[in-house]
Amino acid sequence: MEQEKIAIIGGGVAAMTAALYLTEQPNWQQKRHITVYQQGWRLGGKGASGRNAAMGQRIEEHGLHVWFGAYVNSFKTIETVYDKLQRPPTSALSTWQQALKPHSFIALEEHIDEQWQTWPIEFPVLPGNPANGSLDITVWDFVKMTLAWLKEWIPQFELAARVKAKSTQLTTKKLRDRYLLRYFHQQIQTLVSDGSEAWQTFTSDIHNLNQEITSTPSLLVDKLNSFVQSNNTLQPQISEKKDSLVVWYIVRKLKRWINQELTELLDENAALRRIYICADLAIAMLVGLIKDKVYRDGFGVINKYDFRQWLLKNGANKQYSIDSAPVRGFYDLVFAYPQGDFKKPNVEAGVAALAMLRIGLCYRGGVMWKMQAGMGDVIFAPLYELLKQRGVNFEFFHQLQQLTPGVDASGQNCVASVLLQQQVSLNSSSEYQPLVDVKNLACWPSEPLYQQINPAQALLLKQNNINLESFWSDWPSCYQAHFGAQLPTKTLQFKDDFDQLILGVSVASLEHVCPQLLAIDDNFAAQAKNVLSVATQASQLWLNKTDQQLGWQYVPFSEEGPILSGFSEPFDTWAAMQNLIDKEQWPASNSPQNIAYFCSAFPCQEYPPQSDHGFPAQAKAQVKTNLTQLLTTNMQPLWPLAYNDNDFDWSILYVKDDVTGSARLAQQYWRVNVDPSERYVLSVAGSSQYRLATDGTQFSNLFITGDWIKTGVNAGCVEAAVMAGMQTARALCGYPQQISGEYAFEAL
């Protein structure tokens, strides 16, 4: 049997996931020959990280790389990698359980009366392996979860109301509403045993057909929990419509009572305000999911709205909830600011609602999981090692220039050729060996391993500080000026060099690498235009003091450092990453005590042409300015002990050399992700309709993959990228058959 030749362009999460599952079946090499073409010296895409040999082999990331415990497909995939790779026990991270550890402590920032207040949240640790979870949840799963939380919150509201002599009695007068409560009582009367006066009064009013039915908030929420847990309710096509009206009516009644009796108490009681915000948002989501018939039509039906817009439409409190810390924290999480404009947040309501439900309902272990080294070390190094063992070929230093369309033997559009620029020549005929060992762990370096590159080229690269991963690199002109010739290219021809092409670049790259394809395929062009992306910025600080020594006041029982969001710009997210110090290689006599990661969207309205080689440096300089502002001004509410008379104490920054004052900042790390392949994929309102399936273009031999295609998540994240790679592999070889959560946006 002749092998099918598969070319993979790009080494990000989706592309490598596709390669993994294409090689999972027995005897796959008899069927396929797979070659990965990657620009620069490392795999990873937006998830790449590197080790800086000149600075203690420190980890340098693109941003904050933390997984959620609801990333079911991602954990299944990485569990497969580690189990199949079978690293020796002496390896620093020989199992995935050593490589990722559960994390439960989240902090959100509220801006109240011109001051920042920290809202600490410690999620419960749940039993189970995230790889064994499921993303296939229903709207009714959320209804049940919300009502369970309301059952906890309502008594606290009642207590606050009684303390302030507020009413805790509810009456129902309208005929339709009384009918719903009679139906409600009929469904639950055999399920409950309640001798309370409130229940007896409620039952009496129902049986006597009174013109008013009396109840209390606690009574209604308690019995509503029994109602939705019953086997006789929420049954599709039977009682679902009537049951949904009951839920809709009761939660709205509870909301009216809360607003009427308690909102005037919120400004003086932070704990009550936070419970109110959670309850208000949960009720608004619940009402919207029922009113918009998401339980029937799928989450895609509300993607025409921005999430904030949809919450407001369904009754969320504008003053307290719409711009609350949980909402801002979610927008920050997905960098939901087109062009980096923090005044114009935008994310699809269906995408956001589903993501929040999955995060809360589907996680196993910790709500988040922290990598115990860089993402390149924890994810991409073992992926590369396993794929190499299996016989996948890797061609590093091959930058995609152009895809050219053609017509195949059956008259269908296809990709006829792939033009690649060969960025460097190796100094021997052997293939590039990309990994380095750091404390018995295979890692990607933060720059090419120059000793493997042609010496003259390596010297020129270093002299001109060339970044081979940059879209704006002036390497071609430097090379031509020095060697008197253009960089060599390689052209892959359909049938000769590849039968199937997996395009693993990100969506912002499409206009640059395949404009001829977009001119032919209107749907592909619409996807490239409407699925937007945003530049991001990231920084890392190595510190001489712990979080507590800096003045951070919130230490949970787990003693975890925070992952914090909803903070002030230009960096709205902070993660305490002290856990990484022992994976770096600092002198025992002079080692940092702490590490802080920061990230956020990066304001950038327009991107200059490729010929503007100075653009990345200009953008990176702005990140340094933003980082300076963060330290000199913004961090004081979180790190008050890092300031002397309101001046930042620069000595808390760890440095290798004897440097003083603000000059110590130069030895920290910051970056800007402006390259088309590095920008974060957005889910702006109405954009999901333009996402194509992996085989959704007009080109018979082209499979697109990445977190920008149609996946069942439709948002920029590892889980979406993994699902995309799984879908690509399935389209090519039929495996894997099942992908958890991929149909969430479709009608049931």
Q: What is the per-residue burial (b if ≥16 Cβ within 10 Å, else e) of 311-335?
A: bbbbbbbeebbbebbbbbbbbbbbb
Place of tokens 């008899």: 30
**Is 295 in the same domain as 400?**
no
* 327 domain residue, yes or no: yes
In the predicted structure, residue 457 carries a pLDDT above the cut 90: yes
* 143 domain residue, yes or no: yes
Closest CA to 707 of 158, 224, 335: 335
pLDDT the model gives residue 535: 98
* 540 domain residue, yes or no: yes
**Is 138 in the same domain as 244?**
yes
In the predicted structure, residue 80 carries a pLDDT above the cut 90: yes
**Is 513 in the same domain as 386?**
yes
**Is 616 in the same domain as 654?**
yes
Q: Does residue 570 have a cis peptide bond before it, meaning omega lies within 30 degrees of 0?
A: yes
What amino acid is encoded at 99 in this protein? A
DSSP secondary structure code for residue 715 in this structure? S
**Is 193 in the same domain as 291?**
yes
Q: What's the pLDDT band for 640 if we cut at 50, 70, 90?
A: very high
* 37 domain residue, yes or no: yes
**Is 507 in the same domain as 555?**
no
* 121 domain residue, yes or no: no
**Is 423 in the same domain as 514?**
yes
* 683 domain residue, yes or no: no
Distance (Å, whole) CA 459 – CA 345: 45
In the predicted structure, residue 150 carries a pLDDT above the cut 90: yes
User: To the nearest whole percent, how much of the chain has pLDDT over 90?
Assistant: 91
* 78 domain residue, yes or no: no
**Is 339 in the same domain as 457?**
no
Q: What's the pLDDT band for 140 if we cut at 50, 70, 90?
A: confident
In the predicted structure, residue 1 carries a pLDDT above the cut 90: no
Determine contact, residues 597/73, Cβ cutoff 8 Å: no
**Is 222 in the same domain as 329?**
yes
Helix axes 381-390, 72-85, angle to 10 degrees: 60
pLDDT the model gives residue 195: 83
**Is 149 in the same domain as 214?**
yes
Question: Is 529 exposed, middle or buried, given 0-12, 13-18 or 19+ CB atoms closer than 10 A?
Answer: middle
**Is 579 in the same domain as 619?**
yes
In the predicted structure, residue 238 carries a pLDDT above the cut 70: no
Task: Give the number of other CB atoms < 10 A from CB of residue 687.
Answer: 23
- Residue 390: CATH number of its domain: 3.50.50.60
Q: What is the pLDDT of residues 172-227, one digit of tens each?
A: 999 999 999 999 999 888 888 888 999 999 999 999 999 999 999 999 999 999 98
**Is 611 in the same domain as 649?**
yes
* 452 domain residue, yes or no: yes
Q: Domain count of the chain? A: 3
At which of 628, 644, 673 does a domain end?
673
Determine contact, residues 366/38, Cβ cutoff 8 Å: no
Give the residue numbers spanning the domain of 420: 4-55+374-524+691-733
Closest CA to 596 of 614, 612, 580, 620: 580
Determine the average pLDDT of the residues in 118-136.
95
User: How many Cα atoms occupy the beta-carbon half-sphere of 703 within 13 Å?
Assistant: 25
At which of 331, 365, 399 does a domain end?
365
At which of 339, 365, 391 does a domain end?
365
Determine contact, residues 311/322, Cβ cutoff 8 Å: yes
In sequence order, the β-bridge partners of residue 406 are: 414
Q: What is the per-residue burial (b if ≥16 Cβ within 10 Å, else e) of 61-98?
A: bbbbbbbbbbbbbbbbbbbbbbeebebeeeebbbebeb
